[in-house]
A and B are shown apart, each in its own frame.
Chain A
Amino acid sequence: MKAPIQVASAAPAPEAPIVVNGLTKRFGHFTAVDNISFSVSSGEVFGWLGPNGAGKTTTIRMLLGLMRPTSGSARVLGFNPATQTKAMQAKVGYMSQIFTLYNDLTARENIRFYGRVYGLSQEEVKQRQAEIIHMAGLEGRENTLTRDLSGGWKQRLALGCAIVHRPQVVFLDEPTAGVDPNSRREFWGLIYAMSKKGVTVLVTTHYMDEAELCQRVGFISQGKLVAIDSPAKLKQTQMRGQVLEIHSPTPDLVMRALQNARQAKAIPLDEVALYGAQIHAVVPDARQYIKSIQRLFESENIQATSIEWIAPTLEDVFISSVTRPADPAQNNGVLRETVTGVSK
């Protein structure tokens, strides 16, 4: 086997399709997006995860050229969205569950509208209509008014309209909210099919579940990028503490005992919560503290059928990265920044 030959590259490495550097947006005194930097590689499926009001939508709007950043920069496919807006928008697709489709137009009419608006010729529009209707499984329904289509179809149709002009970068805004799990799976199958063809996909969602499906995820909370990595690595590196699941015929007694122990700082518990008939307790080290908890139960005569160390969910990880260690005097962890309690 020959060693690979090193060739000096003649041209600079191609820029990533999405590059964000120190992006900031302020509305008066309120900082919606706070110095965010990240990039998304070609063909990657990237998740932008955070609750409503955290700054997800504002970031996307800046990337789409709908808002000017206060400071920092962004480049999408080499364009500056703020100054080369129309040129960039012609090469980028955007899908929003609520906003993309016109409810009083049929599926075909929706596709045609977007096709023409993106500059496709009549023949191209016809071809895309056929392709998208097939992709969305809408055969037989192409002349139904969109408002009469169920969630799963609408979703796929909206995606089709967003990629009618075959863009290299697609932004999907909360694409599967409320849709049934099966349709959601099919939809994600479509996303990955696109990704295999080299399309870069950025998905925003507040659904922790959905973030698991992305190749890489960025957590945004209160305007800041809190963590960014693959879901698996995030669970390994970002989780503060380990999660124990306790089964017991008397969950209420378990709750009380653990909460008292937490208050008295007898056992370092980050969180104690009731999950159905089980209790979840977060401790710094599972092996060490399982024993402490067993001893506690024995001394108080509490029955526990099992105490297991379970894997954290992405939600556990998210909460862990945005809160500081719990103050035992209160019930839960508190957000790092002061909670202003003000909606945007």
Chain B
Amino acid sequence: MEIAIFATDLVKTFRTRKGPLNAVDGLSLEVGRGETYGLLGPDGAGKTTTTRVILGLLTRTAGKSSILGFDSMHDTYAIRERVGYIAQQFVLPADLTVIENMRFFASVQGMSPEMQEKRIPELLSFAGLSDFTRRLAGQLSGGMKKKLALACSLIHEPQVVMLDEPTLGVDPVSRREFWNLLGNLRAEKGVTIFVCTPYMDEAERCNRVGLIYSGRLIASDSPAAIKRQVKGHLLELRPGRFVPAQAAVTGLPGVLEVQTYGDKLHLFVDNVAQRRPQIAAALAAQDISHDEIREVEVRMEEAYISLVHRREQAGPEERKAA
């Protein structure tokens, strides 16, 4: 499989008042052509910085990174001609109309007026904006602004599109439509898509996902494979007394991990049939009431938490003793 986006031991150091900070700390990933890759993680984990370094918008401190074989630092303009990008605070000029925005970005990409006449209507129809050509960009709804940004970033028929939190705060219908557009883009044109998102559920939309934490990837694989990395089956229950229940079940044989979930407990067990009655017994012994102990599906969020825990436990010896 041909590699579209590539990073090895990527490091980006910022100088802050408290000294140097590694926002990206030895990150390696590979995205194949035509894949949809999601970089998942909370704010501050390093998603935006990683994207910017790979695009050549920030200076790389160490490591290698390239897009379509072009190095981020040395072939920056070659990258910019072939890649579409929507920044996190993507703001397009609000005082230009939809059509003016598209013409501007087309001209800046060096597209001739004849090409523009052909391409722009195509893109507008693709994004569902054909009826809004004369609307000022600043007056579009949140969802439509994002679609306009997508259309502008696709004008030069890039082979790779990088999106930084494109669906932040957007209404669910528009979010769904946006992802469907991305899906169509991939299906029809084989475009490689790289998305940063804090929304764990968007992982399901990707072929492969990288979970990023403190500037490093703690997992990089298909969503299903990552979930399989979490050991055990997931049981959920709502206890009458929360803190005692948590104490009672932690450390029981076969209970590999305990996570809290609002007023519920999530227990990872090695064998459902065997452990379920044991857990019920342990709770009954402490006179703790609870509702039905159900098996539930492991979602990306549980996987993320579990993998972060595992990494932290694999840390210095002192932590193990704690």
Give the interface of A toward B (CB within 8 A): 45, 50-54, 148, 150-151, 177-183, 185-186, 188-189, 191-193, 195-196, 206-209, 213-214, 221, 251-252, 255-256, 273-278, 311, 313, 315, 318-319, 322-323, 331-333, 335, 339-343
Contacts and interface: CB of A to CB of B under 8 A. Distances in A.
Nearest to B297: A311
A332 B177 contact: yes
Contacts of A273: 176, 179-180, 183
A225 to B, nearest CB: 15
Contact of B305 (A185, A196, A315): A185
Given A51-B169, A178-B198, A151 B44 contact: yes
B132 A341 contact: yes
A189 B18 CA distance: 32
Contacts of A313: 201
Contact of A343 (B132, B140, B204, B304): B140
Interface stretch (B60-68, B100-108, B258-266): B258-266
13 contacts: A181-B305, A185-B305, A188-B260, A188-B262, A192-B242, A208-B201, A274-B183, A276-B204, A311-B297, A315-B201, A322-B173, A331-B177, A341-B141
Contacts of B173: 319, 322-323, 332-333, 335
B45 A196 contact: no
Interface in B176-216: 176-177, 179-180, 183-184, 186-187, 198-201, 203-207, 213
A235 B45 CA distance: 33
A181 B200 contact: yes
A14 to B, nearest CB: 23
A182 B308 CA distance: 9
A195 B205 CA distance: 35
A279 B232 CA distance: 27
Contacts of A189: 242, 260, 262
Contacts of A178: 42-44, 198
A189 B201 CA distance: 21
B135 interface: yes
B242 A276 contact: no
A181 B170 CA distance: 20
A323 B172 CA distance: 11
A221 B171 contact: yes
